[in-house]
Structure 1
Amino acid sequence: MRRLGTQLRASLLTAGVGIGLGAGLAACQKADPPPAPLRAVMVAQPISSNSGQSNYSGEVRARQEADLSFRVAGKVTQRLVEVGDRVRSGQALAVLDPTDANLQLGAARAQLDSALSVERTAKGELERYRQLLPANAISRSQFDQIENQYKTARSNVQQAQANFNVVSNQASYSTLRANKSGVVVSRNIETGQVVSAGQPVYRLALEGEREVLIGVPEQMIEQFKPRQPVRVSLWSNPQQLLPAYVREISPAADASRTFAVRVAFANAGAPVKIGQSARVFVTTSSSSPALAVPLAAVTAEKQQSYVLVVNPANSTLVKKPVRIGAYGRDSVPVLAGLSPQDWVVIGGVHLLQPGQKVRAVNRNNQPAFQQNAQAVVQPALAKKD
């Protein structure tokens, strides 16, 4: 019995030691979690771009455009033309409710008729007194009084006639007419709408030459000069390049911080239509080769553009400020701040931070460079050991 008790105590002691060691190992495993996988980022090296030629998107416009508006206020009762309609000079475009204008015209006509009647009466009275004056049947003062009454009546007629002409003109202003021939490019009224005098209701592109309006960022505006030759291609026919030249450069930037540049066609009869999308190609004088990166690679902070570059030595992100050119369809030229050997992050830049360690891959989801591949393999080997 004594030997059985000794064996039982030894077994319990051995089990307790095993449980303690197991708990200790479990605690050690929880305190040392496995390293989190590195975030994969797609990178690419910048490509060479033709820095000697820049292109800007624009729209075909008429050289002369006019905003048309009513000269009197009123309620729109008819809208006679729509956007895209071709109109001729003098054609009616819209009509206001003429009720008030007709009432004012009737009142002015009545005042004119009344003034004319008073003038006729005063004129007849003056003729009779003029016949009585030589016979001294009336005094000179009486004749002068009748003559002044006639002059007053004649002045009242002139005033009533002028008032009638003004009201008649205002009545005719209830119909808006085109001042020149052209094409309606915008409409800002609806039937039943009350408009004020001078409020633009139609925009008319006048007949004549056509041109392309583009917006140029401030860092590129110095490349443009008046009469500078350029080329224009239409989106409907991108293979055809039309000769053109810079006609006008805005001296101030608009709300979008770009300068409006108007490009005129060298051939006045160029086959273009208002509203067509166009691209203007400008040859610059820069001799240094420029690099281009995808649009998604560039972001900005405090009006400073920058890109994120992966350091091949330690696979960490580095923030690089850059100076960029005009945005293209899919890419943007980088004029300064980047080298051809840099590995630039081309997506998800807003989700990353400088100094962050990443796993750089190319467009085929393969390691972008050898150093990065080794950085991924070594943690896996350490975990296995």
Structure 2
Amino acid sequence: MSMMQHFLTGMVIACSVTLWGCSNNNAAGTEQEVPFVMVTQPNTSYTEQKSYAGDVQARQQTPLAFRVGGQITQRFVDVGDQVRVGQVLATLDIRDAELQLNAARAQLESAQSAAQIAEDELNRFKQLLPTNAVSRSQYDAVENQYKAAMSNLKQAQSNYDVSRNQTGYNRLVANKNGVVTARHIEVGQVVAAGQAAYEIALNGDREVVIGVPEQAISEIKVGQPAWVTLWSKNGEKFSAYVREISPAADQSRTFTVRVALREGQQSIQLGQSARVFFVKNQDNALSVPLSSISATDGQAYVMVVQPDSTIRKVPVQIGAYGRDSVPVLSGLKTNDYVVIGGIHLLRDQQKIRPIDRQNRSVNIQAGG
């Protein structure tokens, strides 16, 4: 490269640096106007929406168990099967029960014979007593024997009835129409009396069971309206209401809430994933978009546009954040215009060109 080319290159670099420094000085000396900043007025009503995930369950569910213990010999239904009233679900080994029934039958027959003999003996003594063929004490003894025999007969009859009933208890029978949601037994397993064998979801109303954290449970009341969506049916909403709220939190510190469906019972299946929405409307409550709120040292603020198109930093007190907006409890007026988005990049008393959501210029008048 020739000496002339080196000289020209140096001159170009020097001029570029000089021009860059001059432009920076001009920018620092005069405040630039921000073109086109979107603004809006606060809404005069606030809609708060909260949602909780849950699953669809039957309103009535019941465990079924044998009333006596024993070994499972047969089971006839499995999870997902429909059952009807009177249907046999499982059976136990009845050999021991049959032996007990036979023993009780033998005792009953023996008691019946003893009672018959005591009755005949009492009748003979009744005929002999008027003629003084037997003494009064002898008659009283026979009468007492008769009463004891009759008591033994009643006891034997009761024992027989219990044994007969227990023999019938070796069959587990459905007492309601429904669907099997759980099975806890296998063939050959020995179960105790009262141990759950199946769980049945009864046919009828459906509801969604959700868990509500302890800080939000006070906002939900029995009878409160709600609506439900299903993951498998996007876009469909089902009317519902709060039917029951658990009085105590579980180990995860959430309260179980049961939300009953008012519609769609036939098309909704047990176990489907669902989401319950609660909507609360507050009139005469100001709210602004989430992007209108910023904070400095823990103090929330908004940028309010003045009639001369300058912006002013206004501290506000806000409520709980919603999905798209936040309520403003104090510090803002209904006719104020606030900046939407990017307010952390703006400065107090900075001049802007306000526009609305349709990109139309906004003319702000003094006093509203």
TM-score, L = length of structure 2: 0.63
For 1:70, give the aligned amino acid: F
Are 1:92 and 2:88 an aligned pair?
A: yes
Q: Provide the residue aligned with 2:228 in structure 1.
A: 232
Q: Provide the residue aligned with 2:352 in structure 1.
A: none
Residue in structure 2 matching 1:81, options 77, 86, 111: 77
Deviation at 1:161, TM superposition (A): 0.7
For 2:108, give the aligned amino acid: L
For 1:75, give the aligned amino acid: Q
Equivalent residues in 2 for 1:37-56, closer than 5 Å: 52-56=48-52
Deviation at 1:188, TM superposition (A): 1.1
Shift of the 290–64 alpha-carbon distance from structure 1 to 2, 3 Å rule, reads: farther
Are 1:183 and 2:179 an aligned pair?
A: yes
User: 2: distance between equivalents of 1:249 and 1:84?
Assistant: 28
Are 1:277 and 2:273 an aligned pair?
A: yes
Equivalent residues in 2 for 1:257-272, closer than 5 Å: 257-267=253-263, 269=265, 271-272=267-268
Shift of the 78–107 alpha-carbon distance from structure 1 to 2, 3 Å rule, reads: same
Residue in structure 2 matching 1:135, options 114, 118, 131: 131
For 2:150, give the aligned amino acid: R
Equivalent residues in 2 for 1:221-370, closer than 5 Å: 221-267=217-263, 269=265, 271-284=267-280
CA contact (8 A) 1:232 1:242 kept: yes
- The unaligned stretches of length 5 or more in structure 1 are 1-49, 293-323, 327-331, 344-385
For 2:259, give the aligned amino acid: V
- The unaligned stretches of length 5 or more in structure 2 are 1-45, 292-319, 327-340, 345-368
User: 2: distance between equivalents of 1:213 and 1:157?
Assistant: 55
Count, aligned residues: 257
Deviation at 1:152, TM superposition (A): 1.0
Residue in structure 1 matching 2:191, options 181, 188, 195: 195
Deviation at 1:333, TM superposition (A): 9.9
User: 1: distance between equivalents of 2:342 and 2:255?
Assistant: 34
User: 1: distance between equivalents of 2:64 and 2:342?
Assistant: 57
CA contact (8 A) 1:51 1:289 kept: no
Equivalent residues in 2 for 1:104-115, closer than 5 Å: 104-115=100-111
Are 1:219 and 2:215 an aligned pair?
A: yes
Q: Provide the residue aligned with 1:353 in structure 2.
A: none
CA contact (8 A) 2:226 2:241 kept: yes
TM-score, L = length of structure 1: 0.60
User: 2: distance between equivalents of 1:289 and 1:188?
Assistant: 55
CA contact (8 A) 2:58 2:207 kept: yes
For 2:85, give the aligned amino acid: S
Deviations 1:334-367 (CA, angstroms, capped at 9, x unpaired): 99xxxx8799xxxxxxxxxxxxxxxxxxxxxxxx
User: 2: distance between equivalents of 1:88 and 1:153?
Assistant: 46
User: 1: distance between equivalents of 2:255 and 2:289?
Assistant: 23
CA contact (8 A) 1:209 1:268 kept: no
User: 2: distance between equivalents of 1:262 and 1:342?
Assistant: 43
CA contact (8 A) 1:223 1:284 kept: no
CA contact (8 A) 2:288 2:325 kept: no
CA contact (8 A) 1:58 1:215 kept: yes
For 2:55, give the aligned amino acid: E
User: 2: distance between equivalents of 1:114 and 1:71?
Assistant: 29
Pairwise CA RMSD of aligned residues?
3.1
Shift of the 289–71 alpha-carbon distance from structure 1 to 2, 3 Å rule, reads: farther
Q: Provide the residue aligned with 2:365 in structure 1.
A: none
CA contact (8 A) 2:287 2:325 kept: no
User: 2: distance between equivalents of 1:55 and 1:242?
Assistant: 14
Deviations 1:317-348 (CA, angstroms, capped at 9, x unpaired): xxxxxxx999xxxxx9999xxxx8799xxxxx
SS at match of 1:126: helix
Are 1:61 and 2:57 an aligned pair?
A: yes
Deviations 1:185-228 (CA, angstroms, capped at 9, x unpaired): 11111111111122122111122211111112223323322222
SS at match of 1:101: helix
Shift of the 256–325 alpha-carbon distance from structure 1 to 2, 3 Å rule, reads: farther
User: 1: distance between equivalents of 2:51 and 2:99?
Assistant: 59
Shift of the 227–268 alpha-carbon distance from structure 1 to 2, 3 Å rule, reads: farther
Deviations 1:13-42 (CA, angstroms, capped at 9, x unpaired): xxxxxxxxxxxxxxxxxxxxxxxxxxxxxx
CA contact (8 A) 1:58 1:278 kept: yes
User: 1: distance between equivalents of 2:192 and 2:128?
Assistant: 58
User: 1: distance between equivalents of 2:99 and 2:79?
Assistant: 33
User: 2: distance between equivalents of 1:95 and 1:263?
Assistant: 37
Q: Provide the residue aligned with 1:118 in structure 2.
A: 114
Shift of the 290–160 alpha-carbon distance from structure 1 to 2, 3 Å rule, reads: farther
Are 1:147 and 2:151 an aligned pair?
A: no
Deviation at 1:270, TM superposition (A): 5.2
Deviations 1:25-68 (CA, angstroms, capped at 9, x unpaired): xxxxxxxxxxxxxxxxxxxxxxxxx9832222211111111111
Deviations 1:285-339 (CA, angstroms, capped at 9, x unpaired): 58766869xxxxxxxxxxxxxxxxxxxxxxxxxxxxxxx999xxxxx9999xxxx
Shift of the 263–111 alpha-carbon distance from structure 1 to 2, 3 Å rule, reads: same
For 2:127, give the aligned amino acid: Q
